[in-house]
Structure 1
Amino acid sequence: MTDPFAAAHRFLLTEGRLLERRLFDTVFLGAPPTGVADALRGYANPDGGLGHGLEPDTCGPASLPIAVEQGLNAYADAGADDPELLRRACDFLAGVSTPDGAVALAAPVIERYPRAAHMTDWTYVPGVNPTAGLAGLLHRVGFAHPWRDAATAYCWAQLESGAYPGEAHALSELFVFLAHVPDRERAESHVAAVAGRLATAEMFQADAGAEGYGLTPLAIAPAADSPWRRLFTEEQLAGHLDALAAAQQDDGGWPITWDPPGTASRLAWRGIVTLGALRTLVSYGRLAPPQGFGGA
């Protein structure tokens, strides 16, 4: 394999989706973030939500909160500025939320189309996954909306109930919320309790040598400047960074450890995971663009 960074870039160019290629260009080549917003509009529906396989474990066209969250992550990472795209997405979320502001990951409409085997009726239950992550991302990009306010109140109520989830994905959503919600003193008062659930959480992989699917500390602190880096030892992070770097495959991309609906979905996920691995490894100083990359 050639230089790991260049090989990963080549993988994205040959196998990745337009969205991840545009985000790569913005993050690493200084391209304007408008390209990312333009790509996201291709997944938009008349109801304002996002669908059409934006979240690759669901292949149907219908708008889903899980797809909106996937889009908001790319939007925030790019530093995009498209208030109308956000307003319409929030209007969609408001239309599918419970009275207290919670949304579910998906809806029964996904059963009409190809989907990953794990996308079943558990994804139809409103909860902090994905409500907390969506609210946190909207705070991150500074976009105010009545649904964001309702979702924020819902998240505070869940946190203050003390009934913290015992599953790693839901905890990671709470960490997104706690990282970006403006009331910093209130947020910090909950960090220790949420972090305390990680050690025994279902699908959390504290051990860098663990096999199979799970979230690692790098999912909680994906960048060196993450406020949650302090929750893990440097030795623990180093082990996971070693494992992440070693997982790059001969084609330049990173693998996934679950079964998506099909070949296109697998490649889409590998593009998402590859771009995420690049960003994490570069942020922690484990990887750098080769000299002269991008004309620099």
Structure 2
Amino acid sequence: MKRLSDQSFKDARDFLMKNGRDLEKSLFRYYFEDGSKEDVLQASKVYQNEDGGFGNKIEPDFQLEISSPMATSNAFQIFKELELSDDHPMIREAMTYLLTSYDDEKGRWHAVPAEVNDVPHAPWWHYDHEKEQVMVEAAWGNPNAELTGYLLRYKQLSPEEMTENLKERSLTHFQALDAIDMHETLCYLRLADELSNFDRKMIIDKVLEHLPELVDTKPEQWSHYGMQPVQVAHNPSSPFYEPLKYSVEENLDYIIDQQDGDGAWHPNWEWGQYEYDWPKAKADWKGILTLKNLKLLKSFDRIESYTVKS
């Protein structure tokens, strides 16, 4: 079993402090040093618009300044980790955006607006006007299931009828699926955190059933885009850890080996377009992935040592 060396950890930190966005820097300090929630929220506020939603390139693969439900879901993931309560102004504003951006007629949120086509973006974020959606929305649960989870989490700010209807629709949709998509699965696992034990078990059991075709368990697959074992079993207490234990431990070794000479981890995908804009997005992703992998390695006790948050 490999562990990230002290020097490699320092190299990753140095990369983040020199090249990362303020958001990732503040999150690193929060998880590994003496950083505060307030610093993270201050860095997050930069991405929040007047309508309460989030944009401003918080998701580097689409360079939208205006708000989108997908970008707002990224912010809620941070709020959830920080355990923000429903009386926080940023939560209240973001919830207002979610409620006003929901399309009652279509029965869904539009992950990103059509304006995404006017800015640099990855091809999978290109808006199809005929279908009125982007490629990732072919799976209804992405991001609808995840966003439903936030309505449940902050139910004091959500209309009860809307929230219950979306919860039931989300569960019915998932139960009916014959095959499950990587990103939709991650959205449902985030929803599962907000459900009763009975409903959560249904989601967990179905993911367990589909692990063989859902997760890439062979090291030769990990250089390509796909679901790696640690994405579904992201800590030792995950219900997916034991079924994937050997692959998870091997995946962690692989991740340690993939750290580049600059101290960062690099994305294993390319846009293949917007050749002048992709390098900047890639640089932002390097900071995001470096933080993500450090948190992951920490959760599995795979870092030799680090400055523990006081």
| TM-score of the two chains, using structure 2 as the length reference | 0.83
1:158 maps to 2:173 = yes
1:282 is aligned with what amino acid?
Answer: K
**Residues 42 and 280 of structure 1: is their aligned pair in 2 closer, same or farther, counting only changes over 3 Å?**
same
Unpaired stretches in structure 1, ≥5 consecutive residues: none
The answer to whether the 8 Å contact 1:256/1:273 transfers is yes
Question: What is the SS of the residue equivalent to 2:67?
Answer: coil
Please name the residue that 1:176 is paired with: 190
The answer to whether the 8 Å contact 2:12/2:264 transfers is yes
Please name the residue that 1:51 is paired with: 55
The higher relative CO (CA closer than 8 Å, separation ≥ 6) is in 2
Question: What is the SS of the residue equivalent to 1:88?
Answer: helix
Shift of 1:75: 2.2
Please name the residue that 2:81 is paired with: 77
Please name the residue that 1:116 is paired with: 122
> Share of identical aligned residues, percent?
22
Q: Pick which of 279-288 and 14-23 moved more.
A: 279-288
Shift of 1:272: 0.9
1:238 is aligned with what amino acid?
Answer: E
Please name the residue that 1:21 is paired with: 25
**1:115-153 deviation line (CA, Å, top 9, x unaligned):** 112212324668211122233356567875236555423
Unpaired stretches in structure 2, ≥5 consecutive residues: 127-133, 272-276
1:219 is aligned with what amino acid?
Answer: Q
Please name the residue that 2:102 is paired with: 97
| TM-score of the two chains, using structure 1 as the length reference | 0.87
Number of aligned residue pairs: 289
The answer to whether the 8 Å contact 2:56/2:64 transfers is yes
Please name the residue that 1:216 is paired with: 228
**Residues 206 and 223 of structure 1: is their aligned pair in 2 closer, same or farther, counting only changes over 3 Å?**
same
1:217 is aligned with what amino acid?
Answer: P
Please name the residue that 1:185 is paired with: 198
1:34 is aligned with what amino acid?
Answer: E
Please name the residue that 1:33 is paired with: 37
Q: Pick which of 241-250 and 180-189 moved more.
A: 180-189
Q: Supply the distance in 2 between the matched residues of 1:109 and 1:22 (Cα, whole angstroms).
A: 30
